[in-house]
Structure 1
Amino acid sequence: MTNSATLLDRRFTVAPMMDWTDRHCRAFHRVLSRRAVLYTEMAVDQALIHGDAPRLIGFDASEHPVAIQLGGSDPEILARASRIAERFGYLEINLNVGCPSDRVQSGKFGACLMREPELVRDCLTAMREAVSVPVTVKHRLGVDDQEPEQTLFGFVETVRESGVKTFVVHARKAWLKGLSPKENRDVPPLDYDLVRRMKAEHPDLEVLLNGGLESLEHGLAEIHGTDGIMLGRAAYHTPWTLAEVDTRIYGEASDPCASPFEAVAAYRPYIEAQLEQGVRLHSITRHMLGLFAGRPGARKWRQILSERANRPGAGWEVMEEALAAVSVHAAE
């Protein structure tokens, strides 16, 4: 199989985030940026093989460019799951070697695989041999008492033997015992310079920086010495962040939307189509709560969507009410 990692322009990506980056979230983010590469929530390999794959990983072609993240630790099972993901049309398959949750640890995948670089190599080799799209890996600097400088460089040297060329590095260690997943996103110290050193030692690899990037400005300030940035919580909680990605990262002549109001209008056809299919409004609007963050009326916007979008039969009229409330505050 040929799977050149250069098929996607990953200068800016939105991180895979459990319970957040579902298909409705990605459709919304795509309204804000044409160019950002979007990732699914982590999909467990066994679930794809034995479960309802269309429900788990189905997506609309309008979300492209979109990639899928898989969780697992058995090369053969990951290869089978990768083939399923490729058939669905994903442009990249990413292996999760960074999540520290108890659920992931109990399945022997995620960040605990930082202790087994040879197994990660074998998993990625099997995945690459199974598909023609790029296969990539997202990982930490190390786990628990591992020394990041030794662990990271040794991990990369071994894993690159798989032929994988794209490494997304969450620039923190993960503590598998004693810290919650939330604390693992904040407590272990960041080390962006170590990631830049990794790239300098491996100029042939594509190295993306992830972890603690609080805004597009912050990402632009730290992108030097790497090939791109991956934003997570900043992109989710303040989605208007994405509205400048096309011009500021990719040099496009314009961004898709000039204001959050335009973004909602552009998203309306998707919302109405989903409502007609029986999707609850809350399943869509829960990803939009931060759209007006930092602007007049933001609190009222969140309040109306949080309280009314979850009611039975809620429809576009809730969106109109929320927009009207924001407009009143914006005019004051």
Structure 2
Amino acid sequence: MDYYAISLFLILFVACGYADEFLFDQNYYPQWGGDHLSVLDQGRVVQLLIDEHSGAGFCSKHNFGSGYFRMMMKLPSNHSQGIITTFYLISTPVGGQATNHDEFDFEFLGGHNPMAYTLNTNVFANDNGHREQQFRLWFDPTADFHKYELFWNQYHIVFFIDGTPIRVFKNNTNIGVSYPSNSMHIEASIWNSTEWQGPVDWSQGPFVAHYRGFSIDGCNYDTPNPEACHYWNADKDRNLSPEQQRRYRDVRKNYMVYDYCSNNPKNFAECLVDFPTEERIQDDMNNMGFDSSSNSGGMRTSTLRKGAATFFPSARDAFGYIHEEINT
């Protein structure tokens, strides 16, 4: 089946309302955890469980060079302090060492109740990262599934929650900033780190996370030529729309609790270019002794290999900008 035949298939598939009905084993496979990973609902849902013996994780079957990657997630509802639930893209081969690699990720840090979750986002670009931005969620992430999305092309990486952009990392290679350029696969996991997040109260466990929506809309990276994956670089994919920009500003103003650019702007050239004026002002006020409750202490970078999707090219041309899920 050639590219256009697959695209037509996807158009019909999306139009019929089944875009997220791909089964787990079509695009993913279990990576680690043994019986701590369960495939439920005839392959439509995956359950990851962690107890004092093991966590679990899965990964996509193929690598990608750009695209739009989404996952529906429902997080553990117990007192989950110390538990980390993830969804991310990474260039390191499965089982390899994460050194000078590319990665961008959602990491949900558990708390003493469902509304105490912290979302940690990070970007690694041929280095060790340290580009954390953290958010409090404006909903209970344990009560139902929510959609977490990563959009990646040659211009920017955008993090979305339920269609709302919460973070943008631009391609600033023109000023010497590294930008993810290696092929990457998708990984998802549940794990814990005493060193990073403190001890877990295992009497509250086991801790269970659920995933669904296993479709992938990305460029299958099966060539050493990066330009083969520049399909996502149309004008409409280079910037947020005005409505997206408004929602982006609102989320960051009301729910962002830590920004590496506020903490160490001189250490990152992109901060001096992309750091919004209003955040610079707030940072100056904090440094002068005003209320700094909007910014928590810095986070220690932590990466644990938490592996690879049958390729279905995009049906974007039939529907315009893919972020139609945005609710106004």
Q: Which has the higher strand share?
A: 2
The alignment's TM-score, normalised by the length of structure 2, stands at: 0.26
Higher relative contact order (CA 8 A, sep 6+): 2
Q: Which has the higher helix share?
A: 1
The alignment's TM-score, normalised by the length of structure 1, stands at: 0.25
